[in-house]
A and B are shown apart, each in its own frame.
Chain A
Amino acid sequence: MRRNQVAVVGAAETTELGIIPNMSQIQLHADAALNAIADAGLKLSDIDGIATAVETPQQIAHYLGITPTWVDGTSVGGCSFMLHVRHAAAAIEAGLCKTVLITHAESGKSMIGKLPRSIPADSLQGQFEAPFGVYGPPSMFPIPVLRYMKTYGITHEQIAMVAVVQREWAAKNPRATMKDPITVADVLNSRMIAYPFRLLQCCLVTDGGGALILTSADRAKDFPRKPVYILGTGESVETPMVSQMETFNSSRAFKVAGPTAFKEAGITHKDVDHLMIYDAFAHLPLYGLGDLGFMPHEETGKFIADGNTRPGGKLPLNTNGGGLSYMHSGMYGMYALQESVRQMRGIAPAQVKDAKISVCHGVGGMFAASGTIIFTNER
Chain B
Amino acid sequence: MAEPARAKPKPTPETQYFWDGTQAGELRLQRCDACANVYFPPRPFCPSCGSRKVSVFKASGKGKLYSYVINHRPAAPGFTPPYAIAVVELDEGPRMMSNIIDCPQTPEALELDMKLEVAFEKLDDKITLPMFRPAKG
Q: Are the CB atoms of A196 and B69 closer together than 8 Å? A: yes
Q: Are the CB atoms of A133 and B9 closer together than 8 Å? A: no
Q: Which B residues lie within 8 Å of A124 (CB)?
A: 15, 41
Would A133 and B79 be within 8 Å (CB), given that A144-B67, A193-B72 are in contact? Answer: yes
The yes or no answer to B10 lying at the interface (CB within 8 A) is yes
Candidates A127, A143, A197; contact of B67 at CB < 8 Å:
A143
Question: What mask results when residues 1 to 43 of chain B are scored 1 for a CB within 8 Å of chain A, else 0?
Answer: 0000011111110010001000000000000000000001100
Q: Are the CB atoms of A244 and B98 closer together than 8 Å? A: no
Bound together, the chains give a CA A166 to CA B8 distance in angstroms of 39
- CB closest residue in chain A, given B66: A147
The yes or no answer to A295 lying at the interface (CB within 8 A) is no
Chain A interface: which size bin?
Answer: 35 or more
Chain A contact residues, majority secondary structure:
mixed
Q: Are the CB atoms of A143 and B7 closer together than 8 Å? A: no
Question: What mask results when residues 68 to 88 of chain B are scored 1 for a CB within 8 Å of chain A, else 0?
Answer: 111111111111001101110
Q: Are the CB atoms of B12 and A122 closer together than 8 Å? A: yes
The yes or no answer to B107 lying at the interface (CB within 8 A) is yes
Q: Which A residues lie within 8 Å of B86 (CB)?
A: 132
Bound together, the chains give a CA A142 to CA B87 distance in angstroms of 12
- Which residues in window 43-95 of B have CB below 8 A to A? 66-79, 82-83, 85-87, 95
Query: How many residue pairs at the A-B interface have CB separations less than 8 Å?
Result: 121
Bound together, the chains give a CA A134 to CA B96 distance in angstroms of 13
Interface centre among A120, A124, A131 (most CB of B within 10 A): A131
Bound together, the chains give a CA A176 to CA B76 distance in angstroms of 31
Q: Are the CB atoms of B76 and A243 closer together than 8 Å? A: no
Chain B interface: which size bin?
Answer: 35 or more
- CB closest residue in chain B, given A134: B85
Q: Are the CB atoms of A244 and B71 closer together than 8 Å? A: no
CB distance from B101 to the nearest CB of A (A): 11
Q: Are the CB atoms of A139 and B9 closer together than 8 Å? A: no
Q: Are the CB atoms of B66 and A195 closer together than 8 Å? A: no
The yes or no answer to B135 lying at the interface (CB within 8 A) is no
Q: Which A residues lie within 8 Å of B6 (CB)?
A: 131
CB distance from B30 to the nearest CB of A (A): 14
CB distance from A357 to the nearest CB of B (A): 35
CB distance from B123 to the nearest CB of A (A): 8
Bound together, the chains give a CA A138 to CA B75 distance in angstroms of 10
Q: Are the CB atoms of B41 and A195 closer together than 8 Å? A: no
Q: Are the CB atoms of B95 and A143 closer together than 8 Å? A: no
- Which residues in window 117-159 of A have CB below 8 A to B? 119-122, 124, 126-136, 138-140, 142-147, 150
Bound together, the chains give a CA A147 to CA B89 distance in angstroms of 12
The yes or no answer to B103 lying at the interface (CB within 8 A) is no
Question: Which 6 pairs show the lowest CB-CB distances between chains A and B?
Answer: A135-B76, A127-B9, A195-B70, A130-B7, A147-B67, A121-B10
Residues of A within 8 A of B (CB): 119-122, 124, 126-136, 138-140, 142-147, 150, 191-197, 241-244, 248
